[in-house]
């Protein structure tokens, strides 16, 4: 079992109001001014054991830009979802257009999924317990009872199953142990939120251990549909995970994992935005600030974004005339079997996994009471993966080699039940994918302080595509096509360890993301043609060190080039979408992370990221009647500067337990939310602050936490898009929420 060891220390849019970072940071640092106390038990400064290179290592000994948090630290910091850690990782962003139960999109170093069709896989992969999630819809529901979370930045083109260009996020659940353990927690919060979570595990028989965990979340939703008065973005979800761990003699072990989730909620509503000063053909375009404040109209609809919601243009009020509401229903089920067998000179690992997903989602693309552009998406997906791995070590080398197989069958249906003239639209798509790969990596000691890292992966992929359309906005299509690709990727690097607490490394790595087909809004035969793979080369140098035995400092600098970058551009409802190899992208940046015990009772986790991305492209697209060239553009959701901070202050209460005060903050520079870099999608810089206070009993068995998220109630958009010649929409981020959490551990 992977363990986390605590360091032993001595004795856009719209930003209308908020706490600026100039005032928030001094407020956090002021927490340190207090009488010293005895060393606390709730520290989150850890050296986490990770498996970033397919074997257990200290995070400080891995020559990869990796951030990791243990499950204990996640709980102590009050991160309710595993995805919450994205706010505390440099050069990492996260958003989910239709709510977290649907497909989450993760951006690492500016690379993200610029396409929201369920026919595509993300360049930032999500793994849960070593199993790749080809379609991550519903994954957020299962992120509980975690042992740790690992975030690997940069291309993963050697050791991981699905070759990626941006990186990956790996969630590792707690495993069964011989010791009996049990825990439970309950949260009550804003919008009538109730969260129940529990886990129990221990020995079931000689050589057999088990663990079962679950999480249930319900709330009334933080948005109101001003047309009907109904709540939107409400949640009713349940996730579970069961595990059985068997000893196979003295040398082997078998871990069986079965898990699933159900979600029944209303999707998040869209904020309608007109772009014109008046509803006429020759009207002037509004200023961007007025557009994003809902103060402008369109010739298409004839009313402003604010008028669409009866003057309540804010995150908690949206409009929708969708006849059947904005339902999201997601059911997932999966199972895996992990076999480990130790031989004299190597270890054999086999991971066999099956995942299935059923998803139905509705949205209102125009965000008005008018029944104009309402959408329905349905997905039925099955996935099978098999990984075989051998790893071992000699006196001066460590090695791993293996085989990976992936098969994914998806059925997609895109429908628009009604439009302005009473017509409807339907596209039925079948997409079958199959891939296999051989891989290997060797770490060879050239000298006591110098190690050569070399790895290689060969991958072959095949996809079969079929589309049939019924009544359609566009010319009905019946298409059959296929795509075959192969790639050789890998890594070459040098690790230098001048001392026990310092690692410096330099590496050259490559990766690729295979091509594919568009799954919806294909307005022409050309739109159904396959898009080829994108490939990345990445140069990186890094430093990991511990100063004065307690201050951990990790830093990395990188430069990458993505060739044939894959992107989707939604032109208009009338013209459909285009998925294309948009050109080449260059990215240069740096990251730094620091964990520091400032005093005996005050500690800080801090990070910062710098990023510059630029397109080299000849492609031109039209948005809202204006032409935009991609050449010189920056990637979407790729702010030039970000920083994050967690500050924790401990106050011992003697025989009454301990108090923990926490403030955390994340800030991102201005950035674009669309690849065209059109002004409508430019988001101003903003920051999000959270705060909590926790009480722990002297025995550490009980705790109570009060928390406030989005403390300053910032108003911001996580996504914006243009759908018409004079209108578009935005997706609000969550407003301020507060609550209490009660926890118990045996």
CB atoms under 10 Å from CB of 440, counted, come to 19
Beta carbons of 82 and 89 less than 8 angstroms apart: no
H-state helical runs in 37-90: 71-76
Mean pLDDT in order along the chain per 10 residues (746 residues): 34 38 45 42 78 85 91 86 78 74 78 80 91 81 86 91 88 96 96 96 97 95 92 90 96 96 88 93 90 93 94 95 81 96 95 95 87 84 97 94 96 76 78 96 96 97 92 84 95 95 96 90 85 95 93 96 88 72 95 94 95 93 79 94 95 93 95 89 94 94 96 92 87 94 94
In this prediction, residue 99 carries a pLDDT of 61
- List all residues 6 or more positions away from 656 whose beta carbon is below 8 Å from its beta carbon: 698
In this prediction, residue 205 carries a pLDDT of 96
In this prediction, residue 6 carries a pLDDT of 34
Q: In whole angstroms, what is the distance from residue 541 CA to residue 495 CA?
A: 10
Q: In whole angstroms, what is the distance from residue 446 CA to residue 495 CA?
A: 10
Q: Structure pTM?
A: 0.91
Q: In whole angstroms, what is the distance from residue 712 CA to residue 27 CA?
A: 14
Q: Taking Cα atoms as reference points, which of 336, 379, 332 lies closest to residue 356?
A: 332
* Helix (H/G/I), strand (E/B), else coil: 505: strand
Q: In whole angstroms, what is the distance from residue 78 CA to residue 84 CA?
A: 9
In this prediction, residue 481 carries a pLDDT of 95
Q: Taking Cα atoms as reference points, which of 681, 675, 668 lies closest to residue 728?
A: 681
**3-state SS string over 110-174?**
CECCCCCCCCCCCCEEEEECCEECCCCCCHHHHCCCEEEEEEEECCECCCCCCCECCEEEEEEEC
Q: In whole angstroms, what is the distance from residue 570 CA to residue 636 CA?
A: 14
Q: For 338-373, b where at least 16 C-beta lie within 10 A, e where not — what string?
A: bbbeeeeeebbbbbbbbbbbbbebbbbbbbbbbbbb
In this prediction, residue 729 carries a pLDDT of 92
In this prediction, residue 42 carries a pLDDT of 75
């Amino acid at each position: 079992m992977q363990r986390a060891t605590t360091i032993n220390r001595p004795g856009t849019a719209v930003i209308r109001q908020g706490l600026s970072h100039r005032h928030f940071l001094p407020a956090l640092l002021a927490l340190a001014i207090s009488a010293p106390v005895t060393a606390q038990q709730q520290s989150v400064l850890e050296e986490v054991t990770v498996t970033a290179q397919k074997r257990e290592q200290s995070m400080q000994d891995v020559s990869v830009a990796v951030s990791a948090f243990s499950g204990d630290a996640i709980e102590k910091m009050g991160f309710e979802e595993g995805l919450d850690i994205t706010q505390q990782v440099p050069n990492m962003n996260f958003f989910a257009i239709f709510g977290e139960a649907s497909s989450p999109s993760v951006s690492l170093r500016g690379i993200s999924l610029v396409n929201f069709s369920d026919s595509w896989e993300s360049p930032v992969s999500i793994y849960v317990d070593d199993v790749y999630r080809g379609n991550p819809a519903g994954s957020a529901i299962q992120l509980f009872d975690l042992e740790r979370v690992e975030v690997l930045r940069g291309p993963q083109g050697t050791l991981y199953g699905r070759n990626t260009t941006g990186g990956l996020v790996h969630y590792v659940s707690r495993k069964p142990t011989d010791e009996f353990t049990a825990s439970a927690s309950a949260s009550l919060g804003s919008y009538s939120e109730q969260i129940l979570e529990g886990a129990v595990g221990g020995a079931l028989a000689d050589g057999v251990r088990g663990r079962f965990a679950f999480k249930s979340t319900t709330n009334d939703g933080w948005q109101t549909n001003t047309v009907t008065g109904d709540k939107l973005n409400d949640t009713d979800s349940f996730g579970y995970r069961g595990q059985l761990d068997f000893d196979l003699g003295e040398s082997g072990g078998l871990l069986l994992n079965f898990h699933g989730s159900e979600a029944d909620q209303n999707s998040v509503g869209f904020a309608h935005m007109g772009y014109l000063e008046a509803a006429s053909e020759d009207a002037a375009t509004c200023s961007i600030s007025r557009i994003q404040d809902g103060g402008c109209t369109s010739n298409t609809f004839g009313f402003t974004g604010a008028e669409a919601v009866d003057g309540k243009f804010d995150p908690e009020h949206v409009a929708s005339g969708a006849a059947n509401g904005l339902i999201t229903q997601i059911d997932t089920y999966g199972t895996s079997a992990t076999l480990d067998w130790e031989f004299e000179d190597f270890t054999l690992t086999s991971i066999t996994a099956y995942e299935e997903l059923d998803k139905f989602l509705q949205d209102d693309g125009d965000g008005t009471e008018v029944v104009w552009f309402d959408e329905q998406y349905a997905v039925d997906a099955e996935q099978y993966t098999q990984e075989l791995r051998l790893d071992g070590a000699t006196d001066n080398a460590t090695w791993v080699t293996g085989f990976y197989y992936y098969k994914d069958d998806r059925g997609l249906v895109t429908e628009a039940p009604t439009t302005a003239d009473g017509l409807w639209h339907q596209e039925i798509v079948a997409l079958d994918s199959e891939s296999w790969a051989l891989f290997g990596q060797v770490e060879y000691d050239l000298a006591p302080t110098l190690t050569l890292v070399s790895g290689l992966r060969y991958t072959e992929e095949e996809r079969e595509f079929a589309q049939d359309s019924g009544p359609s906005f566009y010319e009905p299509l019946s298409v059959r096509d296929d795509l075959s690709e192969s790639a050789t990727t890998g890594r070459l690097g040098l690790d230098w360890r001048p001392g026990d607490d310092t690692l410096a490394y330099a590496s050259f790595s490559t990766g690729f993301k295979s091509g594919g087909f568009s799954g919806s809004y294909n307005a022409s035969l050309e739109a159904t043609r396959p898009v080829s793979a994108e490939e990345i080369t990445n140069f990186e140098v890094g430093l990991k060190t511990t100063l004065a035995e307690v201050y951990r400092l990790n830093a990395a600098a990188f430069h990458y080039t993505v060739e044939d970058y894959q992107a989707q551009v939604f032109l208009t409802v009338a013209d459909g979408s285009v998925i294309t190899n948009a050109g080449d992208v260059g990215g240069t940046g740096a990251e730094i992370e620091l964990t520091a015990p400032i005093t005996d009772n005050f500690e800080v986790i801090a990070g910062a990221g710098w990023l510059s991305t630029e397109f080299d492209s000849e492609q031109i697209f039209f948005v809202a009647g204006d032409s935009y060239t991609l050449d010189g553009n920056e990637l979407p959701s790729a702010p030039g500067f970000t920083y994050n901070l967690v500050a924790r202050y401990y106050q011992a209460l003697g025989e009454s337990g301990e108090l923990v005060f926490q403030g955390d903050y994340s800030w991102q520079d201005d950035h674009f939310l669309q690849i065209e870099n059109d002004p409508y999608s430019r988001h101003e810089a903003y920051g999000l602050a959270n705060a909590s206070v926790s009480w722990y009993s002297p025995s550490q068995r009980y705790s109570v936490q009060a928390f406030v998220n989005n403390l300053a109630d910032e108003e911001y958009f996580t996504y914006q898009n243009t759908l018409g010649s004079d209108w578009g929409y935005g997706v609000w981020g969550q407003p301020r929420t507060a609550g209490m959490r009660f926890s118990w551990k045996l």
